[in-house]
Structure 1
Amino acid sequence: MGDWHSIHLKILYEVLGWVAFVAWSISFYPQIIMNFRRKSVVGLNFDFVILNLTKHSSYLIYNVVLFFSTTVQAQYRHKFGSNQMIPVAANDVAFSTHAVLLTAFTLFQIFIYERKTQRFSKVAITIVCIVWLSAAVCVFIGIHRHSWLWLISVFNTIQVVMTVIKYVPQAFMNFRLKSTDGFSIGNILLDLLGGVTNYGQMTVQSVDQKSWVNFYGNIGKTLLSLVSIFFDILFIIQHYVLYPAKKKKDELPIQSSS
């Protein structure tokens, strides 16, 4: 890693990073808990989950390789400058690992809880198959050419594209049903906090290094924050403004007629 010019900015960087990690990590639990309490996944879009799993798996590969591989780090510095800091922190690796496990568990809940007529769409399944088939081809090319930085950049690109795509099915489902019932807003609020602090972490690093290569050198992380924030705000508007939860009749007190 490169040297920090300001110890205060370094501390702020670490704090923001771990706040993002905690917020994003906890954000998986409200949906899991809601599914468990209801013994149902009705209202949760299945395509959102399977696309999210592909996204986090790709992001995990990118973070782990860039954080631990000295060979890939050398290629990164050769491309962006020998004094540049690696744009992946320990909290990124920890978050990705946790995200894959929790998303996989949510997928498991889909198969064991009530789901009525909901199912995975053929479009989502096709997208996932194409993504991993393409990734396999890129792995073959990357190994042959020893283009390790290019190869993990492919996985980084995959996670960015999946981030954009994954929110659409849930947002459209909320619009079609005119309801967000079954979809945890706690997940979204925590995800928004994580996105904002993650973006702040990158900004702090760029200010300290007096270079914005941290943003375009890790464009995936940059777009991840911006796209996540946009859709989180959309979901918040859907939940609190457009389709506020309606009280069920059986929850209202029964008044006896005189």
Structure 2
Amino acid sequence: MRRLLALLLLWTTCSLADPPVLRFSVAESWSMPLMRVEGEQPVEGLLFDLMQAIAREVGARPEYHVLARLRLQQAMDDGDIDVRCYVSAQWFNDRPGHFVWSIPLFHQRDVLVGQPNDSALTRPEQLPQQAIGTVLGYTYTTLAPLFEQGQLRREDSRSQELALQKLHIGRYRHAVSNELSLQWFNHRLPAEQRLQILAVLEEQALGCMVRNDPALPTQGVLRALVRMKESGEIERITRRYGVTGYREGVSAARP
């Protein structure tokens, strides 16, 4: 009888135990439609919805760590985060051996953006010497030679949205943006004020990375992402935020 009661108590205790925690990284440079953060916690956005769905699929409690983009690699090395999403293998000189890659989830373009009255397609090397709007901590592979030559100068902002706001008010004549953020920024403006795409700089496939740790449901997360991709849930999440004309894999900019 005592043995039965002990087993029952153990079963009850395990049933009431907290679910495992999955620690997701959130880059503070993200802006809508990727993520909106209030009080150091994400509250909406397509990546927020994606992370919530991942945690739900594996029965885990999501925990969000908002970090400066330049601190993300150190957080991975220190074991402070378990899942990092919206990332490309091309952003790493050496692929982190303690993380496992998901399938590609998104495709998006990095574009050169101009003022509303700019309509002619422009190659970056055709631009006159000037400052150009960029995001702090991003590396722009296509533009790197022009920065090194001094033809273009970076004017960094802490987020993509802020870089586009500065372009909109005329702080500079051109900026670099991912296509998602540009669409989100433009949809709030009258047609005559919308920023224009002048050139496509680069495009890449993006996915998630999951820490390879026996204490984590690593394979469960990877399988969940396959199911979400194949079922169309990834596409539904992007459309929830009004993203149109968007092909799923993103950016020439890399941390």
Common fold: TM-score over 0.5: no
Larger proportion of helix: 1
Compare relative contact order (CA 8 Å, sep 6+) and give the higher one, 1 or 2: 1
Larger proportion of strand: 2
Please classify the TM superposition score into its range, dividing by the shorter chain length.
under 0.3
